[in-house]
Amino acid sequence: MIELLKLIRIVGFKHMLRLKRASELSGNINRGFFATRTINTLFNIGFFDEFAENKEVNIDSFSMEKNLDTRILRLLCDYLYSLKLLEKEGSNYSLSYKGKLLTEIGRGAFDGIYAYEDVFYYLEPLLKMEKKYGRDIIRKSEFVAKGSGELAKLLPFPMVIDIVRKGNFKRILDLGCGDATFLISLCKSDPALKGYGVDISPQVIANGQKKLKENNLENRVSLFEGDIFEIEKMANQLEDTDVATSFFVLHEFLSEGSEKVMEFLVEFRRIFKDVPLIISEITRQTPEELRKKPTLILEHHLFHDLSNQGEITREEWKEVFKKADFHSIKEEYVDFAKMGIYTIC
C-alpha cells in the first residue's frame, strides 16, 4: 500500500488509473494469444486425450513416451495450472472443472483456430500484398474438418438428426462430409440408417475411413472423394438417397457472390429431384450488430473473410433458395449462435 501511494505521488492518480485499465485490457487480449497457442499445442501432442482414460497424467512418463522436452512440457502445464485449467501434485497433472469444460466442449473451437493459424501468422505479408491466400497460404483442411465436426456435435448434429428421425429418412447423403463425424453419429443413433459422404480432401476422406473402421460402420457408410459441384459423376452410386445434408460448406463459395451456390442447388435439384436438402450455416452479422454483442461470431467472420469465404444474412439465404427454385423452405434458427438450419425441397 505504501509503495502504491508513493507511485501515485510520483506519476499522479490519473496516470496510475489509466495504467491499471490499460493493463487489464491488454492483459486479457495478450493472455488469449498465449493460452490459445499453449492449449492447441497440448491438444496436438495428445496430452488432453490422455484424460479420456486417466484421471492424472505424469508429465515425466508422458514426455518420455512421446519423446518430448520435459522442461517445456512442465512450463506449459504450469502455465495452465496458474490459469486454473489444470490441477497438479508433483509431476502429476489433472483437469480442473474449467479444464474439463474447455477440453470436452471447446475443442472444436481450438481445432478451428489452429486450422487458420497460418492466415494470422502471415497477416502482415497478406496486408502488404506480398503473399496471397490460396496461392502462398492455405488453411489446414484436416483441422477444418475436425473443428467443424466437433463444434457441430454441440447443436447442429442433434438438431439435424432430429429432423432426419421425424422425416423417417433412411439413406442420408452428407455433402462436404469431412471425416464423417456426422454420419457416424447419425448411424450410431439408428441401426436402420445408411449414409453416404462426399468430400474433396483425400486426407480428410482417409481420416473418415479410419474412423468408420474404428466404429464398425464400413458396411453402412460409404465415403467418396470428389467435388460436390460435380456430384453428377457419383449420382449412380447415390440413387437411393432420400435426404441430403450440408454442414457449413456452401458459405465457402460465396466470396464472389451467390451465383456458384445457386448453380449447385439447381444441379442438386435436377439430379435428386424431390430429395430434401438440409443446410446448416452461420448467418452474416454486421459490424454494428457485433459491436453490440461481440460473440465468437466476430472471429468466425474474420477468419472466413480473410480466407476468401463468404457469409450472407438469413433473408439472403432464403432468397438464394427461392432463386434456385426450391418452393418449400423451412427454417430453424438459433439466435444466440446466429445459425440457421434450412430444410429445402
Architecture of domain 2-105: Orthogonal Bundle (1.10)
Q: In which residue ranges of the chain is CATH 3.40.50.150 found? A: 147-344
Q: Both ends of the chain: CA-CA distance in Å? A: 70
pLDDT at residue 2 is higher than 80: no
User: How many whole angstroms separate alpha carbon 303 and alpha carbon 157?
Assistant: 23
Mean pLDDT (whole number) for 109-117: 96
- The domain 147-344 is placed in CATH, from the list 3.40.50.300, 3.40.50.150, 3.40.50.880, 3.50.50.60, at 3.40.50.150
Strands, DSSP E only, in 163-248? 171-175, 194-199, 221-225, 243-247
Cβ pair 226, 201 in contact under 8 A = no
Range(s) within the chain of domains with CATH label 1.10.10.10: 2-105
Task: Return the pLDDT at 6.
Answer: 77
C-alpha cell recorded at residue 147: 473443428
Q: What is the grid cell recorded at 281?
A: 450455416
**Given this model, what pLDDT does residue 4 score?**
73
Beta strands, E only, the chain: 57-58, 86-89, 92-95, 171-175, 194-199, 221-225, 243-247, 277-282, 329-334, 339-344
In percent, how much of the chain has pLDDT > 70?
A: 100
For residue 7, pLDDT beyond 80: no
Q: How many CA atoms lie within 13 A of 290 on its CB side?
A: 15
- Count of alpha carbons within 13 angstroms of residue 69, beta-carbon side: 5
pLDDT of 311 reads 92
Is it the case that residue 134 has pLDDT exceeding 80? Answer: yes
287: pLDDT confidence band, cut at 50, 70 and 90? very high
Average predicted confidence (pLDDT) for the chain: 94
